[in-house]
Structure 1
Amino acid sequence: MHSTLLRSSPTKHTLVSEHHGPLQPLSLRDMEAKQHQIKSLKSYPETGGRSLAAAAGVDSGGGGGGGGYRAGSAEMDMEANIQKAIDFKAEGHRCYKEKKFREAIGKYHRALLQLKGVHVVDGTTGSEVNLLSQAAAKLTEEQRRAVESTEIECYDSLTACLLQSELVNYERVKEYCLKVLSHQRDHFKAMYRAGIAFYHLGDYECALRYLRDAKNREPTDTNVLRYIQLTEMKMSKSGQRERESGKET
């Protein structure tokens, strides 16, 4: 004897294992039940046009196993995290335009926290991540681009907000600029702002290097040229003091 694929009850359908005997042709009721199962899952906007039903393994070619469903859930959570990050970034931009810089900083930080969750799911950080999640929830190329561009925009916007503060945290400005440049080495604003940060931190050699890189990108930018001049003056004075102190000894 072998079991049927589906037992009917007045309230619900219960799936039964198919492995006790040869497969039987699906009855009309079976086909309707399977179609209902697929329609009950929302479409999942993923590269290549796959649906969440496909990720769950219940469409054509799927085995319908629990592992497939967990993979779909992980992908859906990851997509939701990326979208939340993009939404927080947009809110940050709105606050910045309204000159609500402190609120904007909070929004950008929340966006970056969402992206950290994405990186954990992707298995790029943390050994505590469940191995099944690592295998099931890999970022698509489109998602990777969205994550990277959102990170760049958030860190770049954070530096812009910080430079509007009465007491600027130049150490933090430097840190965020270097994060941007680690993704995009020719990012003009990050070069320029890194130069400003190093200048105010007293590291004139690094300041001059980043400012000259920025000048190579925008040779006529007056702000860059002004900071290069200021940095060279500081270095000249510093060198003069060192020479004078050397004579005294």
Structure 2
Amino acid sequence: MEAAGGEESMGAAAAAEEPSLSRPVRTPAKPVWTSLEEATQMKTEGNAFYRERNIRSAIGRYHRALLVLRGLDSDVMASVEGFGPQAPALTPEQETVLRNTQVDCYNNLAACLLQRQKVDYTRVKDYSLRVLQWRPGDVKALYRAGVATLEMGDAQTAQKYLSQACRAQPNDANVRKHLQRAEEKLNRDLQKEKAMCQGMFSSSLKSSSAEQITKTHRTDEGV
């Protein structure tokens, strides 16, 4: 796993840590390969920061790499047409580098967020699902999507993601642990549902029985 930034001042780092990935980005006046290499370099720096456990800086580098790549992504730029130049046409090789770098950055962002003291599971899930959109069988993304979904309370969906991850890596202890957690939660929820249904059924029987006794009592009294 890889991650981003540390030499900025605290104020600048806080401002740059998670820049908006939804705002329109103008395509820089640079050759495509120059922009791809710039994004790849930022990702590499992020990986180094992640290995040093400098999560804050790692996040910053990954976000910056993604912002550079947005200007080259025809899918993204088509949705913000009118804000700037069209995305340049990419060769198949450039398209591969673009997608692979995006996948790595989103995967690593999810890993970074899971290292924080207060985890934003909604964002972990979002980043992981973006990876799965481009690379459906990515085990790391399946695992992190499962963990995030489980922590958000959806054990059924978490089981789906974690089961896929477990089939791909059956010996991974972390995957198996969280899959077991999801299955245990599903089992507890099922038991609660059964108990609730039994309680409702028992209450209904008691109510019917009490009503029948009342009717019988009234009949005996000649009412």
* TM-score computed with the length of structure 1 as normaliser: 0.65
| Alignment partners' CA distance in 2, 1:222 and 1:122 | 37
Structure 2 stretches of 5 or more lacking a match? Answer: 1-26, 201-223
| Alignment partners' CA distance in 2, 1:241 and 1:144 | 50
| Alignment partners' CA distance in 1, 2:28 and 2:125 | 35
Select the structure that is richer in helix. 2
| Alignment partners' CA distance in 2, 1:119 and 1:247 | 56
Higher relative contact order (CA 8 A, sep 6+): 2
State the Cα deviation string for residues 25-78 of structure 1 (Å, max 9, x = none): xxxxxxxxxxxxxxxxxxxxxxxxxxxxxxxxxxxxxxxxxxxxxxxx988443
Q: CA RMSD in A?
A: 2.2
Higher-Rg member (1/2): 1
Structure 1 stretches of 5 or more lacking a match? Answer: 1-72
Shift of 1:246: 2.2
| Alignment partners' CA distance in 2, 1:155 and 1:120 | 18
Residue number in structure 1 paired with 2:112: 161
Residue number in structure 1 paired with 2:162: 211
Shift of 1:216: 1.0
| Alignment partners' CA distance in 2, 1:83 and 1:121 | 20
Shift of 1:124: 3.5
Residue 227 (structure 1) aligned with residue 181 (structure 2) = no
Shift of 1:129: 5.5
* TM-score computed with the length of structure 2 as normaliser: 0.72
Q: Secondary structure at the match of 2:130?
A: helix
Identity across the alignment (%): 37
Residue number in structure 1 paired with 2:57: 103
| Alignment partners' CA distance in 2, 1:235 and 1:86 | 41
| Alignment partners' CA distance in 2, 1:76 and 1:122 | 18
| Alignment partners' CA distance in 2, 1:128 and 1:139 | 20
| Alignment partners' CA distance in 2, 1:150 and 1:187 | 14
* One-letter identity of the residue aligned with 2:154: D
Q: Secondary structure at the match of 2:90?
A: coil
Residue number in structure 1 paired with 2:44: 90
Aligned residues: 174
Residue 195 (structure 1) aligned with residue 149 (structure 2) = no
